[in-house]
Amino acid sequence: MRHQPDKAMEWLVKTTSDGELWPSQAGSDQNRMAGRWNSTTFPAVQEANRVIASPRSRTTVVLLLMAALLSQGCAGPTARLQYLVGDPQSLSHYEDVATSIEYPIEEEPHQTAPELFHKPRSIRDMSKVKHRLVTLDECVRSALARSAILTDDGSFLSPANPLLANPSRVTSVYDTAIQETSFLFGNRGPEAALADFDALFTNSIQWGRSEDPQNSPFFNLNAGQTLTDETAQWSSRIEKPLANSGTFSVQHDWNYSQNNVSNRLFPSAYTGFVQAEYRQPLLAGSGTEFTRIAGPIGQNLRGVSGVSQGVLISRINSDISTIDFEQNVMTVVRDVENRYWDLYLALRLYDSEIETFKDLLNFWNQLNLRRESDTPAGPREQARARIYEADARIKGSLADILDHEARLRRLMGLPLSDGEFLTPSEHPSEARLQVDWQKTLTDALAHRPELRRQKWEIKSLELQLKASENLARPRLDLVSQYRVNGFGDQLFGNEDDDGITDIGYHSAYESITQGFNTTWNLGLSFSMPIGLRLARAQIRNYELRLAKSRAVLSRQEADIAYELNTSLLNMDRWYELAESSTKRIEAAVSAHEAFEARLNSRSRDYSQLGQVLDAKINRRDAEQSYLRSIVEYNKGLVDLEFRKGTTLASHAISLAEGEWNPKAYEDARRRGEAISHGLENTKLQTEPMEFVAGPAPSAWEAQGNANRPHVAGMTTESTNGAMQVPPVPENAPLRSIPESKVFEPDAGVPVEPAPQFRNEPTPMPRIVPDPDSQLELPLPQEPVIPNPSNDRVTRLPPETATRIGWVGAKKARKPGRAIPLGAIPVERSNP
């Protein structure tokens, strides 16, 4: 009987424990209460139950269900599906895009520094600024103490700034530890290289049962009978690569078998063995030197891993990483020095602009007094224009001051605005540096980290060339194996008497311990690619790379000489310009005094008024030219130290590794004691040969002080877990800068003279001249002449050395503990 469409039912298949199928109808309340339908009501259901009750049908249904599950996700027809539950009109989870720009969910919420939200200073808002006198050493120490991420000044505001464009390439104190724990091919650290020698333990156990019908009368079974076999296998193996390129392993296996074969000694039995195996390469890949360079030959991938996976190459990679860190620290120190002198220059130029402004205003006031004496309007308007120009130059100079101070703060790791204004307390050097070319070049060749880095690259290639020559031979291995076999009815047992045999196989382990049944193998394994083309190509490749690296080293030394020459030329250039500027100042001052005297004589020669203005401007330009020349000369001294590679030494800065986990120090102490109590080796040759000549000049170990600048596990920590740095010296007396106002000559407000400070930026006076008044202003300041006693070149290094270090990778720290960073003061004898 065909059901009408309006009476159609939705069927849900239910499977009971006895394999019956039950339909359900969504609209039947009675059936829902009954819990199931009576099978006698539907003859079709009775037939389905009968079919599915057979084993073959059950297997078919299971296979169909598995196929349906495995086909999920496969491409299929695009026909729209009908669903039994849910709202058919709901498309709340519909998405028509696969990708979009989204934010990730942070595992550890990041807290933005609250001081970043403080409003920075501006030209019109300088009323609440307080001065903080800082020395150059103070700035350098602050930059190193707060530089977990090393930022340079050259990349600031650049589209290619790695801090924003490529953060993974930014240098930090973590880089050396990251390299130390690196595990990728071609760039592995020592820990990953040493992991190749870790013993490998493998263990497996399996159970099984098989029922195989027999076609012929084997195993004492009739044809057509089923061979039933229950099995179990257990295998355990430990393998240890050795430093001499050999491999030693121990293996223990058990196999259990129980079947219905009637002619067996035991229906169920255990068979197994204990085996020791040793394999030693004799030609390619043999020797301790090869293993230290390339790693165990059995773990290298032919044509992929090369010969750069050993402990020595990994150690060199870590040394190169520390050199990169040293280079970036030198760059930070150089940038701090340059920004320090740039800020000094901006402040002095600001002083000069203020004095020129006052001088021009005084001159304009004098011209106003002569108005009643028929003074031409031309000179007055010319002076008025000069005053506006001076006002604009003051604002521009103040903007330069704020910019240089902000960039110095960036390098020092200070907040953008903290209510203080950094003011340099040191003066640039005026002493002329006499340079010995040969000594300067020798220092550069000995201290430049780039040359040391290239020498490590050459050493790495030399070692890899040796390892590649080792592989240009056939593979010949000595293979040896010894095995003790075991057999028994039971795996364990108190006795070996089985009641059947004379030897007794009741206990399988008992038969192994007796050692009656043994197996041994000894032989050679030989393999060789015909022609050894890959090995020879590898040798040639390393020869070419080594030749290139040596040529690069020679060219680097030549370029360093050119850099030193350019640095010395720039120093001479700026010093000569400073001397010329000094003479120019004398001439400008003389001319200015002569024109001032003629102006004060009440002469009616008005043609001299324009020359008086020009004399004032020439005097200002001469003073500023001297300031720029002397500051550029000092920046040339900084560049000379940088090109020589002695930037860190000139500031008494040493580099050292950070602290380990306290347990690592105890482990190192035990190893040190073991070596100290060993017997002296009287051999004249070290095999393999040593390749480390000693610490670099910038390393803490080169100071000759055996004591570390910290005590293991005893470093003072702050509440957040970070290591405390030395307290910053107390600030000098602070003085505020009055708020700067816009210059409006026609407002009629009298001048308010501002105080002058020798080492602080002179505030811009709020000047609005009155045409009918004569103002008394102080005479202009003399040009700032630095004190030769403060010469940075000839001064001694500070009494306390600064130590900055990278994070130690020896035994990782506990999770959640902050990595101690920063500068640590240590006692150091005066040079």
Q: Return the number of other C-beta atoms located less than 10 Å from residue 703's C-beta.
A: 19
Same domain assignment for residues 339 and 392: yes
> Would you give the DSSP letter of residue 421?
E
CA 475 remoteness from chain centre: 41
How does DSSP assign 522-569, residue by residue? EEEEEE--TT-HHHHHHHHHHHHHHHHHHHHHHHHHHHHHHHHHHHHH
Same domain assignment for residues 623 and 743: yes
Q: What is the pLDDT of residue 338?
A: 96
What is the largest distance, in Å, between two alpha-carbon atoms of the chain? 147
Instruction: Quote the tokens at residue 587.
Output: 């001439």
Instruction: Tell me the β-bridge partners of 479.
Output: 279, 523
Position 626 in a domain: yes
Same domain assignment for residues 204 and 286: yes
Closest to 328 (Cα-Cα) out of 215, 176, 431, 470: 176
Position 370 in a domain: yes
Burial of 24 (0-12, 13-18, 19+ CB in 10 A): middle
Same domain assignment for residues 491 and 414: no
Same domain assignment for residues 305 and 328: no
CA separation for the pair 425, 343 (Å, rounded): 11
> Would you give the DSSP letter of residue 736?
B
- pLDDT, tens digit, 9 for 90 and up, residues 3-39: 444 433 333 334 444 444 444 444 444 444 444 444 4
Closest to 342 (Cα-Cα) out of 400, 290, 384, 292: 400
Contact yes or no for 118/416 (Cβ under 8 A):
yes
Position 79 in a domain: no
Position 710 in a domain: no
Helices and strands in the chain: count of H runs, count of E runs: 17, 13
Could you give the count of Cα atoms lying within 13 Å of 804 in the half-sphere of its Cβ? Answer: 30
Instruction: Tell me the β-bridge partners of 394.
Output: none
Listed in order, strand segments (DSSP E) in 19-85 are 21-22
Instruction: Quote the tokens at residue 23.
Output: 């339909």
* Overall number of domains in the chain: 3
Q: What is the pLDDT of residue 540?
A: 96
H/E stretch holding 205 reads strand 200-213
CA separation for the pair 699, 656 (Å, rounded): 6
Same domain assignment for residues 324 and 418: yes
Closest to 270 (Cα-Cα) out of 512, 484, 487, 485: 487
Query: What parts of the chain have a pLDDT lower than 50?
Result: 1-41, 45, 710-800, 811-831
Same domain assignment for residues 256 and 327: no
As a residue count, the chain comes to 831
Question: With DSSP H G I counted as helix, E B as strand and the rest as coil, what are the percentages for the chain, rounded to 5?
Answer: 45, 15, 45
Same domain assignment for residues 217 and 297: yes
Kindly compute the dihedral angle of the four CA atoms of residues 811, 812, 813, 815, in this order, to the nearest 10 degrees: -150
CA 723 remoteness from chain centre: 20
Domain limits at 623? 132-176+317-434+594-651+739-795
**Residue in this structure with the two tokens 């020698």, named with its chain if needed:** 197
Position 22 in a domain: yes
Q: Return the number of other C-beta atoms located less than 10 Å from residue 557's C-beta.
A: 16
H/E stretch holding 256 reads strand 247-259
Q: 171 phi and psi, to 5 degrees?
A: -80, 140
CA separation for the pair 295, 318 (Å, rounded): 17
CA 646 remoteness from chain centre: 24
Q: Return the number of other C-beta atoms located less than 10 Å from residue 5's C-beta.
A: 6
Pairing of strands 420-424, 475-488: unpaired
Burial of 409 (0-12, 13-18, 19+ CB in 10 A): buried
Same domain assignment for residues 636 and 616: yes
Radius of gyration over every alpha carbon of the chain, rounded to an integer in angstroms: 44
Q: 78 phi and psi, to 5 degrees?
A: -95, 15
Contact yes or no for 329/648 (Cβ under 8 A):
yes
CA separation for the pair 518, 63 (Å, rounded): 49
Cα–Cα–Cα angle for 497, 498, 499, nearest 5°?
A: 95
Closest to 638 (Cα-Cα) out of 173, 140, 156: 140
Contact yes or no for 312/295 (Cβ under 8 A):
no
Give, in order, the Cα–Cα distances in Å from 158 to each of 152, 162, 163, 164: 11, 9, 10, 10
Three-class SS of residue 275? strand
Contact yes or no for 332/204 (Cβ under 8 A):
no
Give, in order, the Cα–Cα distances in Å from 52 to each of 37, 45, 67, 698: 18, 11, 18, 84
Same domain assignment for residues 305 and 221: yes
Which residues, at least 6 apart from 824, have a Cβ–Cβ distance to it below 8 Å? 709, 710, 723, 725, 726, 802, 803
Same domain assignment for residues 422 and 515: no
Which residues, at least 6 apart from 126, have a Cβ–Cβ distance to it below 8 Å? 398, 737, 738, 739, 740, 763
Q: What is the pLDDT of residue 706?
A: 56
Cα–Cα–Cα angle for 379, 382, 388, nearest 5°?
A: 145
Q: What is the pLDDT of residue 736?
A: 34
Position 140 in a domain: yes
Position 104 in a domain: no
Burial of 121 (0-12, 13-18, 19+ CB in 10 A): buried
CA separation for the pair 339, 413 (Å, rounded): 14
Position 372 in a domain: yes
Same domain assignment for residues 427 and 509: no
CA separation for the pair 650, 359 (Å, rounded): 42
